[in-house]
Amino acid sequence: MLTDKPAGDCHCTEPASPEELRRRLDEIITEYKDKPGGLIPVLQIAQGLYGYLPDEVVRRISLGLDKPYSEVAGVITFYSFFSTRPRGEHMVRVCLGTACYVRGGKQVLDAFKKELGIDVGETTADRKYTLEVARCFGACGLAPAITIDDVVHQRVKPTKIREILAKHMQAAAVAKGA
């Protein structure tokens, strides 16, 4: 999370207050207000600050950039990168493109739903995982495919979902230095 602590004195578990987040958002809006194409960078930074784009933030950006709410909301809904709902720390995407679907992608998706206890577009209660569907990873010859964050898993079997998630969490813990 964001804090104003010096880098050597990181207290990364201390979240920024709502007031601090609004102050930072207002600074970003001011910085990009008169720049052509500034809306997308503002949305990206805002999503980085909040983890998603709640309606109050979308309205603040709309007013701050002097753009109609419908224009800002339209950009958010057009680009899959943006989310108006909280996302998990890790993104699980199951390919349901033709090759993946025919080779068992739907069963892989169902196994993830069951294992995580969520549906497509939802986030686990502990905010660890968000489940999404994708249309193609370009790995059709090795279908069905999934990604967890930026790691592609190919020839995934529904019976291996728990193992894949366990390995992912283990790798994530190592990466964090835990």
Question: What CATH number should be reported for the domain holding residue 153?
Answer: 3.40.30.10
Sequential DSSP letters for the chain: ----S-GGG--TTSPPPHHHHHHHHHHHHHHHTTSTT-HHHHHHHHHHHHSS--HHHHHHHHHHHT--HHHHHHHHHHSTT--SS---SEEEEEE-SHHHIIIIIHHHHHHHHHHHT--TT-B-TTSSEEEEEES--S-GGG-S-EEETTEEE-S--GGGHHHHHHHHHHHHHHHHT-
Q: Residue 4 has what pLDDT?
A: 38
Task: Tell me, yes or no, whether 99 and 72 share the same domain.
Answer: no
Domain termination site, one of 55, 78, 101: 78
What is the length of the chain? 178
94 inside domain? yes
85 inside domain? no
Task: Tell me, yes or no, whether 57 and 123 share the same domain.
Answer: no
2 inside domain? no
Q: Which domain holds residue 29?
A: 7-78
30 inside domain? yes
Task: Tell me, yes or no, whether 54 and 99 share the same domain.
Answer: no
**Total domains present in the chain:** 2
Task: Tell me, yes or no, whether 132 and 172 share the same domain.
Answer: yes
Task: Tell me, yes or no, whether 61 and 25 share the same domain.
Answer: yes
Q: Describe the strand order of the beta sheet including 146-148 as a list of residue ranges.
A: 129-134, 90-95, 146-148, 151-153
47 Cα distance to chain centroid: 9
Q: Are β-strands 129-134 and 90-95 bridged in parallel, bridged antiparallel, or unpaired? A: parallel
pLDDT by 10-residue block (mean), the chain, 178 residues: 38 72 96 95 94 95 97 92 88 94 97 97 92 89 93 96 94 80
Domain termination site, one of 29, 57, 78: 78
Q: Residue 165 has what pLDDT?
A: 95
Domain termination site, one of 78, 98, 123: 78
Task: Tell me, yes or no, whether 69 and 94 share the same domain.
Answer: no
84 Cα distance to chain centroid: 10
End-to-end CA distance of the chain: 17
Task: Tell me, yes or no, whether 33 and 111 share the same domain.
Answer: no
